[in-house]
Amino acid sequence: WNIKSTPFLPGFDCKFVYLGPHYDEAIARFRFLAESCRLAGIIVGPPGTGKTTIMREVMHLADRPAAGSLLVDAPGNGSLAMANYIFHHFKVGQGSYASLAEAELDITSRVAASTGQADRALLCIDNAHNLADEQGLHLIRFLIDLRSPSTKAKPEQPLFTVFLSGNTNLAESVRNNPDVRERIQLFYSLAPLSKEESTAYIQHHMRAAGGDLWVFSEDALNALYEFGRGIPRRINLLCDTSLMLGFAAKAECINRAIVTQAATDTGMIKLEPDGRENNS
């Protein structure tokens, strides 16, 4: 099959990033926000659609902010821990606060008292739906509102450009909170891939790995869309498992039967007691 590297492993590798129309548009919009020092943007979509990949690609492509960039995963019920991590990473405040209220009071006073203008940073918060409660949304507003004081050379500017990534509940929670909603300059919704995009996605990965495009037959590509539902994470798992099964069977190409076996092995097809398939 002439595959020179593993094409469907999880993890970020810029050469495997698929720039379909929706992905290209999302990256362009968020890159503009990052490079023009805008306040904040939100990207939402079903799990596995590539939101984190888009954030990583924006961090890779955008002109690097002077203070750097950070992608942090929002833990469940962990607003304070995440805040301490962010402040410690960017050396804003002491980074070991006992409460968010203490953090806000101390950091606000430190920033206001600083004599020089701090550099702006790009802050990307993944799984930000875990911050959709009152405390989490308050933290988001605080991070967006932090300003470096003006100097003779420069007017005041935000300390952070904040990007939030999460499921659709995140957008709903933000829209119901005017204090946060009015600070967000972009809401972007990422949908699953279409059938044509799913095929292009698979072939892009094979091409980037040096592999032959004919490895997945047409009926295999149809099955990959059927079981993968246009979700890149599911497609990656199915393709990787299919290649493993095909290699073990010394198959000339990957057909629908192999993809179906891969879907079964990865739990995407559940067999009912009577042997019928249930495509979960």
Distance CA 62, CA 51 (A): 16
| Structural domains of the chain ordered from first start | 37-189 (3.40.50.300), 192-279 (1.10.8.60)
Q: For the residues 41-63, what does the mean pLDDT come to? A: 93
pLDDT band at 76 (very low <50, low <70, confident <90, very high): confident
Alpha helices of the chain — where are they, by DSSP H?
21-35, 51-61, 79-89, 100-113, 134-145, 168-175, 178-181, 195-208, 218-228, 232-248, 256-265
Q: Which DSSP category does 90 fall into?
A: T
CA dihedral (113, 66, 170, 77) positive or negative? negative
pLDDT digits (tens, 9 = 90+) for 249-278: 998 899 999 999 999 999 997 644 444 456
pTM of the model: 0.86
Is residue 174 exposed (0-12), middle (13-18) or buried (19+ Cβ within 10 Å)? buried
Residue 58 has pLDDT above 60, yes or no: yes
